[in-house]
């Protein structure tokens, strides 16, 4: 294995270069962590671990042991969870962290528990798949952190702080985090498509004439 090839940097596609850039001297630790190709191995491990956790959580809700209370019976798990969170919040013994969040749970989540339970199940499953594949890694990590915040605001800590901590770092390292994944190929394609649309939107008014 040629280790020299791993001393370069990973960068987003820009006008000055492609996906891979040549080495540019010594990097500070943060630069190395978020840009060096060697550091992408660290993000691969973090991504696979977090992705599996989300994938398994969603799988259990859709097909596994939690199927009956999430996917069936009109989302009874979400309804019971939100109801308990609101009740605990009113007694000051846990539950929803803020009054406005308790009101949101009471007025929106509980009446719509059925489709919300299915949405959560699918979201967790898809977040896991995207993280494992390294496809749209930053967006997948954002989705995961949002779910973690929802759970924590509702009074559940558990694994959520750890998941959110890793998720935030995956967001910050989104280019490097997906380098050993499909983002290595997908992001340049998305960039080219985006630039193509930009060029089409700025065609001078007299540039196209009828013949």
Separation of alpha carbons 129 and 14, rounded Å: 27
pLDDT, position 206: 46
pLDDT, position 40: 92
pLDDT, position 201: 53
Determine phi and psi for 86, rounding to 5 degrees. -65, -45
pLDDT, position 203: 47
Spell out the per-residue pLDDT of the chain, length 211, in tens: 444 554 566 655 443 334 334 444 545 877 888 888 888 999 999 999 999 999 999 999 999 999 999 988 889 999 999 999 999 988 777 788 799 999 999 999 999 999 999 999 999 999 999 999 999 999 999 999 999 999 999 998 899 999 999 999 999 999 899 999 999 999 899 888 877 666 655 545 444 344 4
Separation of alpha carbons 127 and 54, rounded Å: 6
Report if pTM > 0.85.
Answer: no
Kindly give, in sequence order, each residue whose CB lies less than 8 Å from that of residue 125, ignoring residues fewer than 6 positions away.
54, 55, 57, 58, 59, 61, 62
HSE on the CB side for 186, CA within 13 Å? 15
Positions of E strands within the chain: 9-10, 20-21
Separation of alpha carbons 11 and 33, rounded Å: 12
Q: Which residues pair with 36 in a beta bridge?
A: 9
> Mapping DSSP to helix (H, G, I), strand (E, B) and coil, where does residue 172 land?
helix
Q: What is the dihedral of CA 59, 177, 181, 18, to 10 degrees?
A: 150
């Amino acid at each position: 294995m040629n280790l020299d090839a791993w001393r370069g940097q990973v960068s987003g596609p820009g006008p000055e270069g492609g996906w891979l850039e040549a080495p540019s001297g010594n990097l500070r630790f943060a630069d190395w962590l978020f840009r060096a190709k060697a550091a992408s191995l660290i993000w691969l491990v973090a991504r696979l671990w977090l992705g599996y956790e989300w994938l398994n959580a969603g799988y259990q809700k859709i097909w596994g042991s939690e199927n009956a209370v999430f996917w069936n019976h009109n989302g009874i798990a979400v309804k019971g969870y939100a109801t308990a969170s609101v009740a605990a919040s009113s007694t000051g013994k846990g539950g929803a962290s803020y009054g406005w969040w308790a009101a949101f749970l009471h007025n929106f989540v509980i009446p719509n528990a059925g489709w919300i339970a299915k949405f959560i199940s699918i979201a967790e499953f898809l977040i896991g798949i995207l993280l494992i594949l390294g496809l749209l890694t930053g967006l997948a990590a954002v989705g995961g952190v949002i779910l973690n915040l929802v759970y924590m605001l509702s009074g559940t800590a558990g694994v959520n702080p750890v998941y959110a901590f890793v998720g935030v770092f995956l967001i910050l390292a989104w280019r490097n985090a997906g380098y050993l994944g499909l983002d290595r190929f997908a992001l340049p394609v998305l960039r080219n498509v985006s630039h193509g649309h930009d060029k089409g939107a700025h065609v001078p008014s007299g540039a196209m004439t009828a013949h």
